[in-house]
Structure 1
Amino acid sequence: MPPRPPLTARRLRVAVELRKMRERAGMTATEAARALGSSQGQLSNVESARFGVSAERIRALASLYSCPDQTFVEALSELAADRMLGWWETYREVLPSGLLDLAELEHHATAIRTAYTSHMPGLLQTADHAREIFRHVIPEPTPPEVEHRVSHRVKRQGVLYGAHPTPYRTTVHEAALHMLVGGRNVARAQLQHLLDMSEEDHITLRVLPYDVGAFPGSGQSINYLYGPVSQLDTAQLDQFHGPVLLDAEALLDKYRHLLDIVEDIALSPAKSRDLIHAIAQNL
């Protein structure tokens, strides 16, 4: 028997959405399987992502469940049909799966939006800055493990380059700009990199200055990854134990609203660049 393909974030998302679709239709797995001429066990394997599912089967399930949103059904079908493994799979044996999931979601996102309070956005970190961050991971990584994480982070940043870069909006708190990660030279180079990247047309960078005081989500870093339709968006939160992915519609609405608020109270892109430049000049 050939080895089972890895459980990727997108494959798991297809399974989750099919289960939610069935539950909204008010059908049990046994009832749905019987209507399809299948077994409850087979359907359960699909809904748990143990088995893959074809685009044709997704359309059949959507018809059975009377799903009215054909745009969503087609987007989900395309998600299932795309089974190509990306560059991040080469790291599967050396990095936590959560980091691979994030890279996969970023690669396929139609747009990315983030907010950071205490550290630099991963997609805008220099290699030296990232290396210093990874040296302080618990448990303490070996030098090769640090380099694996650094190279993975740099490759993630490929979504911001090329002929069709992904639109990227990020808000960074001023506190992160003052941290001397790696010393003054590394910190200064990191701030210059922020300035350089903020000049790109597809990148919008805003800074939350100290004087905004308290604001929603002030203790949390947020990555919001837009899918082909809003139901397939994903919110990713950084936690001490690793990335956490959220896909419940109520939570997605909450984090979109939170990001709206944070962007509204942040400095304009031009004033943000001025502040970053002033901080770099004082290093």
Structure 2
Amino acid sequence: MGLRVDPTYRQRRFGLELRRLRERAGLSSTEAAALLGMRQPQLSSVEVGKTGLASERVQRLAQAEGVSSQTCVQALIDLGQRSGKGWWSEYRKVLSSAHLDLAELEDGARSMVTYEPMFVPGILQTRDYAEAIHRGGYRPMTEEGQAAAVRFRVRRGALLTGERPPSLHAVIHEAALSVSLGEPKVMRDQLLHLIELARLPHVTIQVLPSDGPIPFGTGFVLLTPQVRELGTVVVSHIEKSLYLDDEEALSRYRDWFATLAGSALPAVDPDASPETCAAKGSLGLLQRILYPLL
């Protein structure tokens, strides 16, 4: 099998985790290659995601590093052995690799937390909202590309109502919910959709008020699979989203999200009786924004 020309994020992450194992074991790439019964250039190709590594070799490297958790080792083996195929595969020739990488990360996540200062998080968007966002987008796209991007975004949302949905905790800035997008009905239906999604036991939605102590900041999503150490932070950027996966970054963004959630209004609870609701909560703010749109 030839070397991959354009490895996916998952494939690159597998190689990166192996390199981290090797470095923690105090082995040079030449020494590790000898330990694994392969040539150094082959190991270098593995570490940049251009090819995979057999499970027994992963086990051998983990033993050299002293990894005691078989759960962690197996999770790493699974990361490298996944086919990478899923519902997103049909978009491979239409959308960028960033779209596909995010969908694959979401598919493997046990939990997700996200903060969005300017838009409703993609996984929570309605079709009409997604269409309005792409029509007025800063990045030019063909009509075919726009239609595919909208279908893709709506399909991502189906994950939350699937058989094994991840938990999702979203903090959305009030500014993201106060725009009309030129069509009041679009935002009205989107706000109602958020309230309905909040009924799901695994979905938590909070609103960060404009008069709160925290400014806008940058949007991000932290995706955590079965093994916490293999989590990924995707930081939104106009040109290209930033993927962070080192221990320090994961810890920093977990702390940052905890701060955001602590400063946001109490979570949307559509089933709470009026007398039990806090004087000021996310649901009340959503309803206040929603009222002029009805």
Aligned amino acid, residue 273 of structure 1:
L
The answer to whether the Cα contact below 8 Å between 2:213 and 2:263 also exists between their aligned partners in 1 is: no
Residue ranges of structure 2 left out of the alignment (5+ in a row): 270-280
- Whether the aligned pair in 2 keeps the contact of 1:99 and 1:243 (CA below 8 Å) is no
Deviation at 1:9, TM superposition (A): 2.2
Deviation of 1:161 after TM superposition, in Å, equals 0.8
Shift of 1:188: 0.8
Q: Secondary structure at the match of 1:242?
A: coil
Distance 2:255 2:235 in 1: 15
Q: Bigger shift: 69-78 or 139-148? A: 69-78
Q: Which amino acid aligns with 2:65?
A: Y
> How far has the Cα of 1:223 moved from its partner?
0.4
Q: Deviations over 1:228-265 (max 9, x none)?
A: 11110000011001322110110000000000010011
Amino acid in the other structure paired with 2:186: V
Match of 1:200 in 2: 200
Please give the alpha-carbon distance, in whole angstroms, between the structure 2 residues aligned to 1:56 and 1:156: 34
Cα gap change, 1:5 to 1:87, in 2 (>3 Å): farther
Q: 1:256 aligns with which of 249, 254, 264?
A: 254
Alignment partners' CA distance in 1, 2:252 and 2:232: 12
1:195-243 C-alpha deviation (Å, 9 max, x unpaired): 111111111000111121335xx32001010121111000001100132
Aligned residue in 2 for 1:26: 26
Counterpart residue number, 2:282: 272
**8 Å Cα contact 1:129-1:182 kept in structure 2:** no
2:133 pairs with 1:133: yes
CA, structure 1 residues 45+168, in 2 after alignment: closer, same or farther (shift >3 Å)? Answer: same
**Aligned partner letter, 2:232:** T
1:1-283 equivalences under 5 Å are 4=4, 7-215=7-215, 218-269=216-267, 270=269, 271-283=281-293
TM-score relative to the length of structure 2:
0.90
Aligned AA (2:282): S
Taking the aligned partners of 2:51 and 2:3, their CA distance within structure 1 comes to 12
Maintained 8 Å contact 1:115/1:221: yes
Aligned partner letter, 1:14: F
The answer to whether the Cα contact below 8 Å between 2:124 and 2:194 also exists between their aligned partners in 1 is yes
Deviation (angstroms), 1:3: 8.7
What is the percent sequence identity of the aligned residues? 37
Q: Measure how far apart 1:163 and its partner are.
A: 2.7
Of 64-73 and 46-55, deviating more is 64-73
SS at match of 1:206: strand
- State the AA in 2 paired with 1:223: V
Aligned CA-pair RMSD: 1.7
Within 2, Cα distance between the matches of 1:37 and 1:57? 9
Deviates more, 1:5-14 or 1:138-147: 5-14
| Structure 1 residue 137: Cα displacement | 3.1
2:18 and 2:144 map into 1 onto residues whose CA distance is 40
Aligned length: 281
* Residues 139 and 116 (structure 1), Cα distance of their counterparts in 2 relative to 1, 3 Å cut: closer
Moved more, 28-37 or 133-142: 133-142
Q: Distance in 2 between matches of 1:182 and 1:69?
A: 54
In structure 1, the gaps of 5 or more residues are none
Q: Deviations over 1:85-143 (max 9, x none)?
A: 11212112111111110010001101111011111111111111111111233442111
| Contact 1:113–1:225 (Cα < 8 Å) also in 2 | yes
SS in structure 2 at match of 1:64 = helix
